[in-house]
Amino acid sequence: MAFPTLHARAEAKPMEHRSMLTPTTTKKLLDAGYPVLVERSPTNPQFARIFKDEEFEAAGATLIDEGSWESAPNDHIIIGLKELPEKDTPLSHTFVHFAHCYKNQGGWEQVLARFPRGGGTLYDLEFLQDPSGRRVAAFGYHAGFAGAAFAVKTWAWQLTHPTGVPLLGIDEFTDGRGYYENEDQLIAQLKEDIAAGEKVAGRKPTSLVLGALGRCGSGAVDLLEKIGCTEIKRWDLAETSEKPGPYPEIIESDIFVNCIYLSKPIPPFVNAESLASPNRKLSVVCDVSCDTTNPHNPIPIYSINTTFDKPTVAVPVESGPQLSVISIDHLPSALPREASEAFSEALLPSLLALKDRQTTPVWQGAEKLFQEKVATLPEGTAKRET
């Protein structure tokens, strides 16, 4: 088949600085024969892409105007990262991005129906899977890495601000950028935080990482080890299958990082009753999985997602140390360069197969799932508009 044109759209989600394509993967796609168009990065710093336009231009991509995907020829494949801006207009292109409309999320019908109404197709990045059922690319590692970083920063902040003042937003720690330019910058800052907290506590924090053997958990463990917080309980299925929660080991750790993807109802890992234990040291929970609205949320001690400008929510406790929860749903955006590079490189083999998507299992499976989900839309909402 001929090489389709890949049109990389600018992101429209505030504080989203990641990019599905990087200059490196763009050059590899161009070298393989794909025409690549890249929309210019938004000038608003809230939406600015971590990679400069000049980097894509140097790689050989053609720069085009932000938002021009809407008027692009229908045979262009529109690629991006996060969901499209909320509108009701039909969509006629083939799209590749995280749409967040396959799990009955709020408003899923309106999001999904736009594609069949315009004759378009959605390949959802979350559901691109290899033959074993494993996702071909995911941000899990950097979600765990950044989640553990915010947890450590909160632990130190609590000790140096004992009056209960909540952790400041990420802008305050990144010279107003809203993200760290690279991992080294983050690590250096965290080592300073740890030193300040250690002066008060007389020790470094202890941590329990649940889901430690997965992508997300390994990211959390790597971060903790890189900053010298090596007293870590690495828990996974073996530890949680032996007995149901709540687990005293969690509340006896300073930091709890949850990296478990919830697929079925399970007993809570921690709850209000367990927090009342006189043995509680726990002062920070980072729920990387963010199952906030799930009725079976295994951490039922909070009910809202937090944000980069307000990273923590306080949990009322009657005694013991203050307790904060971090539940930011796009943690890898704190490290947009490394997160984008790792994700894009993992996705590259699938992108290179886009010209053969009708016969390539990863794309065949994604299209089959799209059609199955469209079939569940309320009657009449998916009717093709002319």
Per-residue pLDDT tens digits for 127-173: 999 999 999 999 999 999 999 999 999 999 999 998 889 999 999 99
Same-domain check for residues 90 and 165: no
From CA 89, how far away is CA 92, in angstroms rounded? 10
Confidence of residue 10 (pLDDT cuts 50, 70, 90): very high
Do 267 and 348 have their domain in common? Answer: no
At residue 350 the predicted structure's pLDDT band, cuts being 50, 70 and 90, is: very high
H or E element, residue 286: strand 284-287
**pLDDT at position 383, please?**
86
Does residue 344 sit in the same domain as residue 303? Answer: no
Q: Is 290 part of any domain?
A: yes
pLDDT at 1 over 70: no
Any known ligand binding at 214? yes
- Tell whether 344 is covered by a domain: yes
Whether 144 is in a domain gets the answer: yes
* Any domain includes 382: no
pLDDT at site 45: 85
To the nearest whole number, what is the mean pLDDT of the chain? 94
Question: Residue 54 corresponds to which amino acid?
Answer: E
Together in a domain, 23 and 58: yes
Residue 360 counted as an annotated binding residue: no
Give yes or no: residues 319 and 309 share one domain. yes
| 330 lies in the same domain as 349 | no
The separation between CA 8 and the C-alpha centre of its own chain, rounded to angstroms, equals: 19
pLDDT(54) > 70: yes
Q: What is the pLDDT of residues 235-246, one digit of tens each?
A: 998 999 888 999
Convert the pLDDT of each residue in 14-37 to its tens digit: 888 999 999 999 999 999 999 999
Q: Give the model's pLDDT for residue 118.
A: 96
Which residues are the active-site residues?
A: 82, 100
Residue-level pLDDT at 137: 97
Tokens 């065949």 -> residue: 364
Question: Do 150 and 113 belong together in one domain?
Answer: no
**CA–CA dist 375, 200 (Å, integer):** 59
Q: Kindly provide the b/e burial profile for residues 222-237, where b requires at least 16 CB atoms within 10 angstroms of the residue's own CB.
A: ebbebbebeebbbbbe
Do 293 and 354 belong to one domain? Answer: no
Given this model, what pLDDT does residue 293 score?
A: 72
CA gap 292, 301 in Å, rounded: 10
Residue 307 lies in a domain: yes
Q: Would the annotation count 288 as a binding residue?
A: yes
In a domain, 131, yes or no: no
CA distance 277 to 248: 9
Tens-digit pLDDT profile for residues 331-340 = 999 999 999 9
Q: How many domains does the chain have?
A: 2
Determine, yes or no, domain membership for 386.
Answer: no
Q: Is the pLDDT of residue 11 over 80?
A: yes
Q: What is the CATH number of the domain that holds 180?
A: 3.40.50.720
Residue 273 has pLDDT above 80, yes or no: yes
Give DSSP secondary structure letters for 250-268: HHTSSEEEE-PPP-S----
Query: Does residue 133 form part of some domain?
Result: no
The domain of 253 spans 140-334
Q: Which pLDDT belongs to residue 312?
A: 98
Check whether residue 217 and residue 346 sit in a common domain.
Answer: no
Q: Does residue 343 surpass a pLDDT of 70?
A: yes
Question: Do both 157 and 58 map to the same domain?
Answer: no
pLDDT attached to residue 339: 97
CB 115 within 8 A of CB 122: yes
> Is residue 70 located within the same domain as residue 163?
no
Q: What is the pLDDT of residue 46?
A: 83
Was 369 annotated as part of a binding site?
no
Verify that 257 and 326 share a domain, yes or no.
Answer: yes
Report residue 386's pLDDT band, with 50, 70 and 90 as the boundaries: confident
Q: Was 292 annotated as part of a binding site?
A: no
Task: Confirm whether residue 65 is marked as ligand binding.
Answer: no
pLDDT in tens, 63-92: 999 999 999 999 999 999 999 998 999 999
0.95 cut: is pTM over it? no
Main-chain phi, psi angles of 329, to 5 degrees? -90, 0
